[in-house]
Each structure stands twice: as C-alpha cells, then as structure tokens.
Amino acid sequence: MEQRLKEIRQHVLDQLKEVRETAGLEQIRVSALGKKGDLTGILRSMGSVPADQRPKIGQMVNDVRQTLESAIEARQKELRRAEKELRLKSEAIDVTMPRPERSAGSLHPMNIALEKMIEVFVGMGYEVVEGPEVEFDHYNFELLNIPKNHPARDAQDTFYVDDNIVLRTHTSPVQARIMTTRKPPIRIICPGRVYRADEADATHSPVFHQMEGLVIDENITMGDLKGTLDEFARQMFGQGISTRFRPSFFPFTEPSAEVDLTCANCRGEGCRMCKGTGWIEVLGAGMVNPHVLEMCGIDPKKYSGFAFGMGVERMALLKYNIPNLRYLYENDLRFLTQYR
Ligand code: DAH
C-alpha cells in the first residue's frame, strides 16, 4: 500500500512537470484526487488493511493528498501566469501603426446647392418655412387660383391621395398656408420635396425639389422681384450672371414671367448648353395675383407681393455642370464624392 501511494505521488508529480496548459491540469487532478481517482480508490480499499495499520496508512494518504493538492495549485499559478503573458503578447497593439483610411462622407450636391440657395436668401432677410408634402387640394390648387378644370390638375401630373388630398405638385401651397395665417410684411422661402406623375429621364423625376419664395408688403413691385433674382443669380453663380424675364402665365401671379439666367457655361455668348441663346430657363415668378391675396385674406388694395419658384435639382445641375438629372439619384459614390 505504501509503495502504491508513492507511485501515485510520483506519477502525478511527473505529469505536472509535463503539462503545458491549465486545461490539462484539471484532468490530472480528477484522475488522482477525484471521486473515481487513484487516491480515493486507496481510501475505499482501507477495509482490507489490518486495523492497526489503518491510522498510519490514512495519515499517509492525507499527506500525499496535501502534497499533490499544493503541487497542482503551484503548477496552476505558473501556467496561468505563462498563459496571461502569452495572451498579452498576442494582443499587443502597435499604437504607432497608421490606421486604415476611413471615408468621411460628404453632402449630396443637391443639398450643397440648396444650402447655398438658402444662404443667399437668408442673407437678404428671408425666413425658411416648410409645409406638408401630403397636401390639401385647397392649398395646392384652389387658393392658388387653379380652378377645378385647369390642366395643371390633370391626373396625369398629380398624384391624388383622395378627392381632397394630393402629393403636392409644387412648393407654392406653402405660400397659401403662410398668407392665410400671417399678416404682412411676409418674406419667406419654402424649400422641399414635390411630386409629379412624370416618367424619369435626363430632366424629369417623379420626385424632385423646389424652393418657393414669397414677399408681401406695401409697395412691392416687379422691380423688387427683378433686383432680388439678379442678386440671387450673382451670388449663386458668380459675377456677370443676371436674369432675363419673359412674359408667361401662372394662375397665381399676374403678371407672370419665365425667368432665364445668363448661361454660366458661355457667359451669354451662346453655346450648346443654352442652344446658342446665351440664356437658360430656370424659374417661374410674378406678382402675386390680387385674387390670390384676397382669397388668402390679404387686402390687395393695401398690399402687393412677388413670388417665385425654382427647381433645386436644376440649380445643382447648372452650378456643377452636371449633364443628367439621373446622376443626382443614382447615389454612385464616385460621382457624389466629387462635391464637397
Ligand atoms: N409653382 C410653379 C411650378 O411648380 C413655379 C412657380 C411659378 C412658383 C411662379 C411661383 C411663381 O411662386 O410665382 O411650376
């Protein structure tokens, strides 16, 4: 029995020398000291030991157990330390290493153009106002003097939600909303998304953006409108760019004008972009129709005003010389990241 105990002890100590991982330690512990382990086996067979020898053998078993337990513990500490060292080494970070490049993102060219447009008008004292994209027929058409049988209401152009509600076809309904709720002086711009049942092509999209402008006060004239748009053109596109008014018709303005900008490409000389005219059509404008003022609760004998509406995408295309509207919607990073 004594011999057997010595063997067990030596065997375990040998194993401890060889084991290289803490995981292996547990196996050694179980096979020596566990319930079915060698040492426990000896205790079980104490029955066959003569009674007078039992205390001595029992004492020996306990000694061996203690020796082995502390040997295992010591080895465990050693191995843990080694494993930790190894892990720290493998996880070490070289803080001097250059990091991989990260793309920072950039504003969409249309938003850059819109921000510039807003900046110009805010600089002239305008307030930015927004309205709903799902709009009442009343504001989108009726209050703007677009009667029930007007071609602009044709279902081909307008997305109807129901008989009284549409996806707004322009930002002009925000004018009507403001005129019915505020007293002059009014000086606002209204940027936002608009919807038309158009097929998408190089110059059309069923969803696009407009920016509306409205000024109402005493003694506002067409000269104020012209001066304002000229200043906008100069700030937006640079020195030497101005506007040209051509007579036109909108139900909500009288008189009305189509407004052209000096072609920024040829500076008015005439080129392919402006089809040789030196001018590019960019927006609609006019003096707010007195009938519209009246419907919105503003006295046309006391007040007058001008309004204009421009396409934001169109401004971006012109500003950055982009040949096709589709580029703005395709979200190709190679295109988008050129504009910052
Ligand atoms: N609402 C017009 C459109 O979508 C643009 C427009 C023209 C707005 C003349 C105006 C204006 O405020 O006076 O085509």
Residue-wise pLDDT tens for the chain (340 aa)?
Answer: 788 888 888 888 888 888 888 888 888 888 888 888 888 888 888 888 888 888 888 888 888 889 888 888 988 898 899 889 999 999 998 889 898 888 788 899 999 999 999 999 999 999 999 999 999 999 999 999 998 888 767 766 899 999 999 999 999 999 999 999 999 999 999 999 999 998 888 888 999 999 999 999 999 999 999 999 999 999 999 999 999 999 999 999 999 999 999 998 888 899 888 889 999 999 999 999 999 999 999 999 999 999 999 999 999 999 998 989 999 999 998 999 888 7
Which residue's CA is the nearest one to ligand 1's atom 4?
A: 170
Ligand 1 pocket: which residues have CB below 6 Å?
Answer: 170, 172, 212, 250, 253, 284-286, 307-309
Q: What is the pLDDT of residue 155?
A: 61
- If you measure from the C-alpha of residue 108 to the centroid of ligand 1, how many angstroms do you get, rounded to a whole number? 25
* Distance from Cα 111 to the centre of ligand 1, integer Å: 21
Nearest CA to ligand 1 atom 3: 170
CB-based burial, 35-53: b 16+ in 10 Å, e otherwise: eebbbeebeeeeeeeeeee
Look at ligand 1, atom 2, and give the residue with the nearest C-alpha: 309
pLDDT at 71 (0 to 100):
87
CA angle 163, 176, 329 (to 5 degrees): 75
The predicted pLDDT at position 1 comes to 78
| Residue 50: predicted pLDDT | 85
pLDDT at position 195 is 96
- Distance, CA 269 to ligand 1 centroid (Å)? 28
pLDDT of residue 156: 65
Q: Ligand 1 mean position to 155 CA, how many Å?
A: 19
